Amino acid sequence: MPVLDLGNPQRGGRTLGAVLGVLLIAILLSLTLPPPGRGAAPLGRAALTSEVVAGPAALPGWTTLGGSVNRSGATASIGPTVDDLRWERCLAGGAVRAGPLLTGSTVFAASEGGYLYALNRTDGGRVLWSRSIGPGPTTGDYAAPYLLLGTSDGRLSAVLGSNGSLAWSRALTAPVAQGIAVAGGIAYVATTSGQVEAFRVADGSPVWSVPAGAPVSGAVALEAGTVFLATTSGRVLALSGSNGSMVWQASVGATVASAPAVADGRVVVGDGSGNVTALRASDGTGLWRWDARSLLAADSLSSTPSIGEGRVAVATDLGEVVSLNATTGQPAWNRSYPNSGYPVRDGPVTTPGFVYAMAGATTLAAIELATGNASWSTSLDGGSASQSPLAVSGNEVVVGDDAGCVLDIGTQGGPTIWPVAGTVRDPSGAPLPDVQVVIGSRIVTTRADGAFEFALPNGTYTVYVFRTAYIEDVLSLNVSGAVRDLSVVLRPLATFELSGTVIDSRSGRGLGGANVRVEGEFGYVARTTTGPTGAFVLLAGNGSDELVVDGPGGYSGRVERIEVPGAAVAGVIVAVDPSGLSIPSADPHRLDLILPFGVLAAAALGLGIDALRSRRRAAGLPPALLSPFGRYVAMRALLIPGEVAAVLLLLYVFGTFLPAAAAGQNLCELSSAACRSCGWSDPGCVVAVFGNGFGTFLGRLATGDWGFASYGPLTEPASQFLQWWLPDSLELALVALALSVGIAYPVSILSSVRPESPLDVGSRLGSTLGLLVPSFLVLLAVYGVAYGPFSQALGDDPYGLVPSGLWLQSHGGSPPWIGIAGNTSPTGFPIVDSLWHRDWGFAALATAKTLLQAGVIALIYVAIYLRFLRGAVRRALAAPSVVAARARGLSEGTILWHHAGRRLLPTYLLVFGSTFPAYIGAQALVEALSNDAGLGTLLLSEILQTPGSGFGFRPGPGVNGNLYQVAIFLVVLLVLVLRLAADILARYLDPRMLEEGRR
């Protein structure tokens, strides 16, 4: 008995009569009503209430099946982006059969038991009124001020939407099939027996009635004065709305259970054999057909397709939701949902952003229109196998289920989101694809037809529209409703002819084969190559341009700024300098010529020294030419070329020759020497090619002709990258090394002085852990801890090439002294340069970034450094001088910092020399993971990007040259030179080491 509202004090039992009256009503109601569903509304109270049905004008309505009389299922509302339940109201009388229909804030829905409800959807689904309307309502339609309802006993009734009072009721020959269409005060219906009838909405008087020739189970659709319907015999009819006369008819070949959808001059019908057929609306000519059985065999269609946004969306009976191109019928995407075994009677709804569908009759699914990605889906209790269609309005979808409840799903109290759509064209009217349209933090790119879409809440926005080589457009947009036709015209950047000559700066002769590039405003780029006389002509953007010349092989590049003042510019002369180590390109790098001379020279030198030694010996002098120290330096320095040669050979064999041979490439391409093709069957040729290829490799290495490297969007000559980023790495190295030594020096001394002290044990443990925990985890942990404070204090991320765009924007834009690769000028050292330009904010940020990275490097490297230092320091402290000092009674502090400290310096140098490669590894990794400018970043990205073709072997111009070989070579050179310097310095400081070395 929960139906009665006994607790209402206004009507509480003050007198016995009132109590008895209420009880009587309750008993009567309980006899007539079926058991109500969950939380059924207090009918008694609602029936007494009379409220005006009115809502904010901003709420779009959904007053008929499919949202509009053409049954397109399309709406300008965007629909909900989340599946939050706003409210749920369960009706008396079981499954929802007619509605929900929305007008303003009112929702109409009728249950199978014959109860019609008006609910307020802005007030948690509060019941405005409800009434009984007779058995089995099948369909509804709101045509102000009436709500028209068809019932299964074949009656059609009109109820006033405002209070539910009955206006008129009339009997038809048979029940109304699925839907009513109203236009111009006339309502059109098809009955299940196959009669099409028109009558006046005001009083229900008939206008015309014609037979359709077969039973009908779908609604009629109305478009431009024509009534469209499809019969269960598979015929599609178009009738004149004025008198019911036949305009055309066509057959789709299988039974149709739903209404046709009509839009954009097309009639789209889904039939029981799974076909979706598009006919021309004017004459019924077939346009295209798509078969749902191409996805799932035995699939069929019982619901109306939805036409909108240039797509046709269909929901098949087996749970597929498919989006088709409306013009061609080609499927764009499809998604599968659970199949409940019921036919799907609710057609999908297309909004500018989503397709909403009752997939498989039980799942309410929201799918992104453009991509087909599932946005959300929710399973309805008891499903909705009924004819209660989806209603979409604003950010809500309202649906009724078979358990008898009306659900409103959407954003709780959020702003209404509106679709904003538009097209970008050029001045000639041609659509522009790939245009970036930016509103707030959202960016979209226009499609091939120049169109773009957004979904935005109310507000005023600044819209930026830009495309490479077009002049940027900025407009202001006020969104307070759907914007369908935001039209933007982008003017292309005017271009003018720029001509000139590239010459050799020494000889003044024209240079052919130089790559010339113009970089203008708005991302404009044009390229060309100079002709044999060095002349070039290209189109440059109006305004200020950068002219970039990559000299031909053996020449360095040059960048110049050119002003194009709205007219052609001619006679530009760019002089490029020959690079120092140039080998004339006509002369291939002939190792077979250079090598014998080298061997002869070395032999001559050896003989000369031997002769000198024997003459000294004959003169009674010690045969050695140099002091022990000088001899050590000379020996070590002499070793370097041999080591370099070995490394080069290693790099060539493993980096170039073997991979190229394994890839089955023509070995002749390894060298610049002339040979056509060379196979393994000809060993002589292979040996010759090996030698020549090595020569080419060395030649290119020496001349800086290192091919191209790429990092992110940049693809530049490898040498250019080195020039940009080397200072950055050096700066970091200086800081990191200072930091490492600053930590390692006191720790190693103190822990050696007090073995097994907490410091000693701790440092040993720490260094073991530091070795074992992979360094990138150390980095992640440090960045994780530092990120918050860092970005709070300095306003930017602790990683990245340069300050982020956001940071630069809030600090007055990108300064002109930062280049495209995050390289700074004039020195290239970011900290130095920012101080030079007095950009304190940048300096602070760069210093903090460098310190953070240096800290991580130090953490990693000190672990290794300490491990090798421990023993060496302990040995040094056992030296006689230290023992003597201690015996003289000097304090431990004095001994430590004066005697031992000085004695330790050579040890530190030696250990540093031998652990330097480990240091390089740590720095490379930290740079790469911090995504900072530097050789480490380049090195790792090169290794990862281009395995195994090898520098020196380039099948074509512009192909990456595997910079990693060059980088490794440079690293090795650096390691060898630094180690040499460290060793020599150590022996200079502590000559006793010379003795050890000789042993």
Partner 1 sequence: MLDGLLRATPFDLALVGGPILLAMAVGAILGTYAGVSQGAIDLVVTGAADVIVGVPTFLLIFVLYLGIVRWVPIPDRLLVFGLLFAAILWPYYARPVRALATEVAEERYVEASRAAGARRRRLVARHVLPNSLAPIFAQAPVDVYSIFFVLTVFPFLGCFAPYPFLTVLPATAFPEWGNLLALGACHGWSFLSGIDFWWMYAFPLAAIVAFGTGVSLACDGADRFLSGR
**Residue 260 phi, psi dihedral angles, 5° rounding:** -75, 150
Q: What is the DSSP letter of 879?
A: S
Residue 29 interacts with partner 1 (CB under 8 A): yes or no: no
Packing angle between helix 963-989 and helix 628-652, nearest 10 degrees? Answer: 170
Nearer to partner 1, 133 or 975 (CB): 975
- CB 763 to partner 1: min, Å: 14
Of 46, 946, 966, 987, the one binding partner 1 (CB under 8 A) is: 946
CA distance 632 to 641: 16
- Cα gap 164→47, rounded to integer Å: 9
Q: Which of 333, 375, 340 is nearest to 354 (CA)?
A: 375
Q: ∠ CA(302), CA(306), CA(309), 5° rounding?
A: 160
Strand bridging mode 459-466 / 436-439: antiparallel
Window 905-924: residues binding partner 1 (CB under 8 A): 914, 917-918, 920-921, 924
Q: Which of 672, 965, 986, 990 binds partner 1 (CB under 8 A)?
A: 965
- For partner 1, which stretch binds (CB under 8 A), given 319-327, 694-702, 940-948, 986-994? 940-948
As measured in angstroms, the least distance from the Cβ of 786 to partner 1 is 11
Residue 922 CB, nearest distance to partner 1 (Å)? 9
Q: How many CA atoms lie within 13 A of 357 on its CB side?
A: 35
Phi-psi region of 830 (alpha: psi -120 to 50; beta: other; left: phi over 0): alpha
Q: How far is the CB of 500 from partner 1 (least distance, A)?
A: 40
Number of residues that bind partner 1 (CB under 8 A): 56
The correct pick among 31, 48, 448, 662 for binding partner 1 (CB under 8 A) is 662
- Burial of 184 by CB count in 10 Å (0-12 exposed, 13-18 middle, 19+ buried)? exposed
Pick between residue 548 and residue 873 the one whose CB is nearest to partner 1: 873
**Number of Cβ atoms within 10 Å of the Cβ of 715:** 12
Compute the least distance from the CB of residue 911 to partner 1, in Å: 12
Q: Which of residues 782-841 bind partner 1 (CB under 8 A)?
A: 784, 787
CB closer to partner 1, 288 vs 868: 868
Q: Among residues 25, 663, 820, 981, which is the contact residue for partner 1, using CB under 8 A?
A: 663
Given the rule CB under 8 A, which of 269-277, 542-550, 603-611, 640-648 is the region that contacts partner 1?
Answer: 640-648
Q: Which residue's CB is nearer to partner 1, number 453 or number 760? A: 760
Q: Which residues contact 713 (CB under 8 A, 6 or more apart)?
A: none
Residues 399-428 that bind partner 1 (CB under 8 A): none
CB of 783 to partner 1, least distance (A): 9
258 binding partner 1? (CB under 8 A) = no
639 in contact with partner 1 (CB under 8 A): yes
Instruction: Give the DSSP H/E element, type plus range, for residue 901.
Output: helix 901-930
Q: Which of 979, 982, 986, 987 binds partner 1 (CB under 8 A)?
A: 979
Q: Which is nearer to partner 1, 7 or 642 (CB)?
A: 642
Closest distance of CB 149 from partner 1, Å: 51
Note whether 862 and 743 are within 8 A (CB). Answer: yes
Q: How far apart are CA 133 and CA 700, in angstroms?
A: 92
Q: How far is the CB of 994 from partner 1 (least distance, A)?
A: 14
Per-residue burial over 530-544, b = 16 or more CB atoms within 10 Å of its CB, e = otherwise:
beeebebebbbbbbe
CA atoms within 13 A on the CB side of 487: 7
Q: Is 776 in the site for partner 1 (CB under 8 A)?
A: yes
Of the candidates 29, 33, 771, 848, which one interacts with partner 1 according to CB under 8 A? 771
Query: Which range, of 246-254, 293-301, 603-611, 967-975, touches partner 1 by CB under 8 A?
Result: 967-975
Interacting stretch for partner 1, rule CB under 8 A, among 4-12, 727-735, 775-783, 807-815? 775-783
What binding mask, one character per residue, do residues 479-508 give for partner 1 by CB under 8 A, x or -? ------------------------------
Q: Does 772 bind partner 1 (CB under 8 A)?
A: yes
Contact status: 766 vs partner 1 (CB under 8 A): no
* Phi, psi torsion values for 609, nearest 5 degrees: -65, -40
Q: Using alpha carbons, select from 390, 412, 410, 415 the residue that is nearest to residue 400.
A: 390
**Is the distance from CB of 454 to CB of 444 less than 8 angstroms?**
yes
CA distance 250 to 266: 13
How far is the C-alpha of 308 from the C-alpha of 311, rounded, in Å? 5
State which residue, 637 or 658, has the beta carbon closest to partner 1: 658
Choose one: 261-269, 659-667, 679-687, 723-731; the region binding partner 1 (CB under 8 A). Answer: 659-667
**Which residue number, 642 or 683, has a Cβ lying nearer to partner 1?**
642
Distances (CA, A) of 151 to 35, 70, 158, 570: 21, 22, 11, 84
Q: Which is nearer to partner 1, 147 or 928 (CB)?
A: 928
Comparison of 544 and 914: residue with beta carbon closer to partner 1: 914
Nearer to partner 1, 466 or 951 (CB): 951
Report strand pairing: 306-308 vs 286-291: unpaired
Angle, CA 320 vertex, CA 84 and CA 345 arms, to 5°: 75
Burial class (CB in 10 A: 0-12, 13-18, 19+), 601: exposed
Closer to partner 1 by Cβ: residue 151 or 941: 941
CB of 688 to partner 1, least distance (A): 21
Among residues 287, 650, 753, 970, which is the contact residue for partner 1, using CB under 8 A? 650
Nearer to partner 1, 831 or 869 (CB): 869
Which stretch, 59-67, 449-457, 556-564, 960-968, contacts partner 1 (CB under 8 A)?
960-968
Candidate list 160, 174, 943, 994; residue touching partner 1; CB under 8 A: 943
- Rule CB under 8 A: choose which of 23, 625, 658, 884 binds partner 1: 658
d(CA 164, CA 146): 9
- d(CA 106, CA 89) in angstroms, rounded, equals 13
Site string (595-634) toward partner 1, x via CB under 8 A: ----------------------------------------
Q: DSSP letters along 279-302, please?
A: EETTT--EEEEEEGGGTSTT----
CA–CA separation, 904 vs 10, rounded Å? 99
Does residue 972 belong to the site contacting partner 1 (CB under 8 A)?
yes
Among 380, 864, 885, 963, binds partner 1 (CB under 8 A): 864
Q: Is the dihedral of CA 954, 957, 959, 964 positive or negative?
A: positive
Q: How many CB atoms lie within 10 A of CB 353?
A: 20
Q: Shortest distance, CB of residue 642 to partner 1, whole angstroms?
A: 7
Write down the least CB distance from residue 976 to partner 1, Å.
Answer: 6
Q: Which residues of 864-877 are buried (b: 16+ CB within 10 A; e: fewer)?
A: bbbbbbbebbeebb
For partner 1, the binding residues (CB under 8 A) are: 639, 642-643, 646-647, 650-651, 653-655, 658-659, 662-663, 768-769, 771-777, 780, 784, 787, 864, 867-868, 871, 914, 917-918, 920-921, 924-925, 928-929, 939-940, 943-948, 964-965, 968, 971-972, 975-976, 979, 999
